[in-house]
A and B are shown apart, each in its own frame.
Chain A
Amino acid sequence: MKGLLRLWPVLLLGAVLSWLVIAPLILLAAGAFKPTGLIRDPGFTLENITAVYGSGDFWYLVRSTLIFGLGSASLALAAGAALAWMVERTDMPLRRSIRTLIILQMATPPFLLAVGWIMLLSPRTGVLNGLIVSLFGLEGPPFNIYTLTGMVFVEALSLVPSAFLILAPAMRNMDPSLEEAAAMAGAGNGVIITRITARLLAPALIGTGLYLFMVSLVVFDIPGTIGMPSRIFVISSHIYALANDNPRGLPEFGTIGAIAFFFILVLSIAAMAYQYFMRSSSRFVTMTGKSFRPRRIPLGRIRPWILMLAIFYFTLTIILPLAIVLWTSFMPWLRPPSLAALSAATLANHKDVFVNPAIVGAALHSLVIALVAATSVTALAVTCAYIVMRTRLPGRRILDWLTFLPLAFPGILLSTALIYVYLSISALPVYGTIAIIMIAYVTTYLSFGTRSANSVFVQIHPEIEEAAKTSGASIAQIFQRILLPVAFPALAAIWFWVFAHCLRELTQALMLQGVDNATLPTVLYGYWSTGQPNKAAAIGVWMMAIMLAVTLVWHMIERRTGSGMKNE
């Protein structure tokens, strides 16, 4: 009995996670063994499994998908880590503006970003290609976005904000004593970064890398927008086709379910690798009971060059595509920027955002969903990370695996499973409402929340809490007075990331759409998919405006609480 009482946090959290993760997973797995994939249909078959794994086409897709996933995750990790390091650990100017720019990019729905890049780098009408051809007198366009390299490039860019948001708090919370000692011993910046900083950050870097890799395996937007037109398929675009283009009229849920086992296997290996690194994480503790002030590395003479590099990066990767989206929002139809086209500019698309009751209603839904889901994910992630990283309770590793698992669910499949779950429980009237979308998002984004929260707990030495316990503080007081204030920037980053992703998420919102639960991305997609990309772009612009407003509020809170500012 006493043992049970001791275990109640694990049991309670385990129950919540089982409901969120295991219930849909069972339905998802069951579908793979049904002839139609619909779990209430009669029959049992292994045909879906044998058809998928016995097919040469599938393994061909695995190869393309791995190239795509590894390429995007590596690039995004490198860029995100470099940016986080520059913003958090150097004296680079305009750090706050850079952080805002990175976060702003998260509000852009990836398929809109992809459309922006097509308009910049398409071989026929790409603005950048045209510019380079005319500047250097080339015979043909130097870039072609409709390639696997193009897909990797755009996907990596869309993942950079996630990498930045996971890594920035970890870098911010680093105790500089080891770096300072190395500097005192005569080590140069290069040696300090590679031999000390990188090693201290290893758990966060590995966790982030695995997370980005898994995300890039299941995302559809960019492979669908850039790859599909040029017949470059990865598993996610194949799943989209199985769900939407099946000539038999029903999505091939059975085949999709069978494919999901592949994701679950890859993710389980990734989770084990992640836990292995985390087990040796005590080597990476950087925030101890001693007070510290994170050291900013002076860039010296290269400071303006680093700033120039950052400006070039942002111009190329954020400002240009966002400018294209903005331009598109003022055009009556899709047309590349030119002086001639300027005369056709109109405010009609933007006016529509404010007078169309469908858009206004969807905006309210999106905000409520994003607020509730972001808060729930943050609370669950912190609780889970505390149990996993700070206790020796049995079952904690299973909890960690459960929170990582949703990353293996393609959005289409998770939504289908959720439809079954909530259709089966008529006493819980969430089917067709915004509540079912909230539940889907909490499940989906839990993996990001827990990866980030784990990274933070790795870096805070337990001696701070032990000192508080010795002084008689309760767990609640330790949370309220020590952990939450220390971890606030990281928790705010989690909240913010989930908020932004909920605001822009499309696949699941579409699948779970009912009579009155439309969200901004579903309305945006509605315009895009009915040949009105300019109206879609206008909604995208205002989504970015919402994100900008939330970013400013975040900065204000940071300034008031002093968190995140102590090292500015």
Chain B
Amino acid sequence: MARAWNISLACALALAMAPVQAAEIDDLAAKAANQQPVLWYESSQPEQIADVIKAFNKTWPKIRVQYVRIPGGNTIAARIIQETQANARTASIMTSGSTQLHPLLERKLVLSRDWQALGVTKDMPQTPYAIPVAASMFVGLYNSQKISAVKAPATWDDFISKRFEGKLGTWVRPPGFVDLVELYGEDKTRDLLKRLVSLKPLLFPAPELIAQQIASGELDAGIGFFHSSQPAIESGAPVAVKFLDPTPINTIWGVVIEKGSNADGAQVLAAWLTSPEGARIYEDATKRGNPWLKSTETAKRVGANRISQLPLMDLDKNRRLSDEFSKILSDVRAVP
């Protein structure tokens, strides 16, 4: 009975709030209309984001958006800082991981606001500085021709076992393992990583190569990202995905830069990206979905698995573990 009351109350509140939210986003959109374009920095391919912008413009046709791809995504913050310091035109919205958010926060370049007033659901983890647009899911991958479904690895320990010595690949960066710490614990994750390194894995500068190398037969299995395995899988390659429990995720945060061109339009875009429609379009284009929106494929794929991610603002822990795990993965003296 109490539950029914709660639901009714939530519905009533949502109905009451909806016009307020609509009014606020409409006001912002009106201010952003026909201004200079929103400048969006991200790491996805331009043609993927072109589809997203096209869909956004169906809803908000008067807000122009330009896109700049920053490959790898790890130099976005540096670029924004350089441009801001020179008073040059810079990004008004960035969609990237938490490591890119922190340097911008430290320099007070990020716009802070009440995102729920723009319709962002409170069910998502969020701060006044950042809202989750999507997430990169760290998964297990294996060659489905070499390994039958019956014998397929299903857990972290299955993947990181002697069976795959010299036949395993992963990304040279450690964020997946850093996020795994949240639910797996530091010691257990460190041990896992050391066992992984002892198996002499191939380490790739781009995680997308892992699936391709599995497809080619060079590797039997790998630990990589779901979205970066999709091009190979969609083209028919014998690569299978296994969502492991816990599933580490690396959230892609939508961040608006205060001094960016057309910051009003950027807020509308950020809010739209977290809406069911925006999230679906973004997921279709980039294969990275929003696990906090039940309507996304990503949420369905994660299923009952536990999501593991360090809290956004736990900066010190994130940096300490990233430093340590990077060293374990890519020690320059590893091979004499």
Residues of A within 8 A of B (CB): 38, 40, 57, 60-61, 118-119, 122, 124-125, 146, 224-225, 228-233, 238, 240-241, 243-251, 253, 332-336, 344, 356, 358, 416, 419-420, 423-424, 426, 431, 510-511, 513-515, 518, 522, 525-534
A335 to B214, CA, bound (A): 9
- For the complex, what is the distance from the CA of A216 to the CA of B167, rounded to whole Å? 30
Which B residues are in CB contact (< 8 Å) with A416? 78, 82
CB distance from B147 to the nearest CB of A (A): 15
Q: Are A244 and B72 closer than 8 Å at their CB atoms?
A: yes
Contact B172 A332 (CB under 8 A): no
Query: In the complex, given contacts A336-B217, A531-B232, what are 10 additional A-B residue pairs having Cβ atoms less than 8 angstroms apart?
Result: A40-B82, A40-B85, A124-B217, A244-B75, A249-B99, A249-B101, A336-B216, A423-B82, A526-B45, A529-B206
List A contacts of B75 (CB < 8 A). 243-244, 251, 511
Cα A358 to Cα B48 with chains together (Å): 12
Is B203's beta carbon under 8 Å from chain A?
yes
Q: Does B123 touch A at the CB level, under 8 Å?
A: no
In the complex, A118→B232 CA distance in Å? 18
Indicate if B330 sits at the interface (CB-CB under 8 A). yes
- Known: A233-B332, A238-B332, A531-B231. Contact between A334 and B205, CB under 8 A? no
Known: A229-B202, A232-B335, A332-B237. A533 touches B217 (CB 8 A): no
Q: How far is the CA of A244 from the CA of B67 in the complex (A)?
A: 20
Identify the closest chain B residue to A231 (Cβ): B334
Q: A38 is contacted by which of B45, B85, B100, B333 (Cβ under 8 Å)? A: B85
CB neighbours (8 Å) of A526 from chain B are 45-46, 69, 71
Complex partner residue of B237 from A238, A241, A333, A424, CB under 8 angstroms: A333
Q: Is the CB of B68 within 8 A of A333?
A: no
Cβ-defined contact, B71 with A251, below 8 A: no
Residues of A within 8 A of B88 (CB): 423, 426, 431
From residue A325, how far is it (CB to closest CB) to chain B in Å? 14
Some 28 contacts from A to B, beta carbons below 8 A apart, are: A57-B333, A119-B216, A124-B167, A125-B218, A231-B330, A244-B72, A245-B74, A245-B173, A245-B326, A247-B174, A247-B319, A247-B322, A249-B74, A253-B78, A334-B213, A334-B232, A335-B216, A336-B216, A416-B82, A419-B79, A513-B68, A515-B66, A522-B71, A526-B46, A528-B206, A528-B209, A529-B71, A534-B235
Instruction: Check B208 for interface membership: any CB of A closer than 8 A.
Output: yes
B309-336 CB contacts (< 8 Å) to partner A: 318-319, 322-323, 326, 330-335
Question: With A and B bound together, what is the CA distance between A232 and B203 in angstroms?
Answer: 10
- B residues less than 8 Å from A124 (CB atoms): 166-167, 217-218
Q: Which of A40, A249, A344 contacts B100 (CB 8 A)?
A: A249
Residue of A at shortest CB range from B204?
Answer: A229
Measured CA separation A522–B70 after assembly (Å)? 10
In whole angstroms, what is the CA distance A528 to B46 when docked? Answer: 14
Name which of B212, B237, B334 has the most chain A CB atoms within 10 A of its CB: B212
- Which residues of chain B are near A246, meaning CB under 8 Å? 74
A25 and B222 alpha carbons, distance in the complex (Å): 42
Contacts of B71 in A (CB 8 A): 510, 513, 522, 525-526, 529
Determine the chain A residues whose CB is within 8 A of the CB of B228 once the complex forms.
530-531
How far is it, in angstroms, between the C-alpha of A497 and the C-alpha of B20 when the chains are bound? 63
A39 nearest CB across to chain B (Å): 9
Whether A247 pairs with B83 at a CB distance below 8 angstroms is: no
Nearest to A119 among chain B residues (CB) is B216
- Judge whether B230 and A531 touch: CB under 8 Å: yes
What are the residues of chain B within 8 A of A250 when measuring CB–CB? 77-78, 81, 103
Q: In the docked arrangement, what's the CA distance between A344 and B39, Å?
A: 40
> Is the Cβ of B70 less than 8 Å from the Cβ of A533?
no
Say yes or no: A146 contacts B202, CB within 8 Å. Answer: yes
Q: Which residues of B (193-239) have their CB < 8 Å from a CB of A?
A: 202-206, 208-209, 211-213, 215-218, 228-232, 235-237
Tell me if B119 counts as interface (CB < 8 A to partner A): no
Decide if B47 is an interface residue (CB 8 Å cutoff).
yes
Interface residues on B, range: 35 or more
When C-beta atoms are compared, the residue in chain B nearest to A245 turns out to be B173
With both beta carbons as reference points, the residue of chain B lying nearest to A419 in the complex is identified as: B82
Q: Which residues of B contact A (CB under 8 A)?
A: 39, 44-47, 66-72, 74-75, 77-79, 81-83, 85-88, 99-103, 166-167, 169, 172-174, 178, 202-206, 208-209, 211-213, 215-218, 228-232, 235-237, 318-319, 322-323, 326, 330-335
Pairwise interchain contact B335-A358, C-beta atoms closer than 8 A: no
**With a CB–CB cut-off of 8 A, which chain A residues contact B178?**
247
Give the chain A neighbours of B237 by CB distance below 8 A: 332-335
Contact A248 B86 (CB under 8 A): no
Instruction: Check if B232 sits within 8 Å of A333, measured CB to CB.
Output: yes
Nearest neighbor of B100 in chain A, beta-carbon distance: A249
Q: Give bound CA distance, A433 to B212, whole Å.
A: 33
B24 CB, min distance to chain A CBs, angstroms? 29
The answer for the CA separation of A507 and B269 in the assembled complex, in Å, is: 31
B326 touches A334 (CB 8 A): no
Contact B205 A531 (CB under 8 A): no
Task: For the complex, give the distance between the alpha carbons of A335 and B237 in Å.
Answer: 9
Which residues of the other chain, B, contact A253 by a CB distance below 8 angstroms?
A: 78
Known: A233-B332, A518-B46. A332 touches B74 (CB 8 A): no
Contact present for B335 and A231 (CB under 8 Å): yes
Q: Of the candidates A38, A233, A424, which one forms a contact with B78 in the assembled complex, judged by CB atoms under 8 Å apart?
A: A38
| A372 CA / B48 CA spacing, docked (Å) | 31
Residue on A nearest B236 in the bound complex, by CB? A332
Q: Which of B87, B166, B203, B215 contacts A231 (CB 8 A)?
A: B203
Top 7 A-B pairs ranked by shortest CB distance? A247-B322, A531-B208, A423-B86, A333-B237, A332-B235, A531-B231, A229-B202
A230 to B219 Cα, complex, angstroms? 13
Please judge, given known A-B contacts A229-B169, A335-B215, A420-B82, whether A251 and B74 are in contact too, CB under 8 Å: yes
Docked-complex contact B82 and A248, CB < 8 angstroms: no
- Which residue of A230, A510, A529 contacts B208 across the interface (Cβ within 8 Å)? A529
CA gap between A7 and B81 in the complex, in Å: 42
Say yes or no: B335 contacts A230, CB within 8 Å: yes
- Nearest Cβ in chain B — how far from A129, in angstroms? 12
Tell whether A530 pairs with B216 under 8 Å between CB atoms, given A248-B99, A333-B236, A515-B68: no
Give the complex CA separation of A531 and B75 in angstroms: 20
The answer on a CB contact under 8 Å between B217 and A248 is no
* Min C-beta distance of A60 to chain B, whole Å: 5
- Cα distance A514–B88 when bound, in Å? 13
Output the least CB separation between B314 and chain A (Å).
13
The answer to whether residues A513 and B99 also contact, given A233-B330, A334-B215 and a CB cut-off of 8 A, is: no
**Which residue of chain A lies nearest to B44 when distances are taken between CB atoms in the complex?**
A530
B74–A424 CB distance below 8 A: no
Q: Is the CB of B86 within 8 A of A424?
A: yes
Closest-by-CB residue of A relative to B74 is A244
Enumerate chain A residues within 8 angstroms of B79, measured Cβ to Cβ: 419
Chain B residues whose C-beta falls within 8 Å of the C-beta of A245 in the assembled complex = 74, 172-173, 326
**Nearest chain A residue, comparing its CB with the CB of B211:** A531
Cα-based distance from A241 to B209 in the complex (angstroms): 17
Query: Across the interface, which residues of A come within 8 angstroms of B218, CB to CB?
Result: 118, 122, 124-125
Minimal beta-carbon separation of B269 from chain A (angstroms): 16
Cα separation A38 to B172 with both chains bound (whole Å): 25
Choose from A125, A224, A232, A332 the contact partner of B217 (Cβ within 8 Å).
A125
The chain A residue with its CB closest to the CB of B212 is A334
Bound-state CA distance A122–B66 (Å) is 42
CB <8 Å contact, B332 and A61: yes
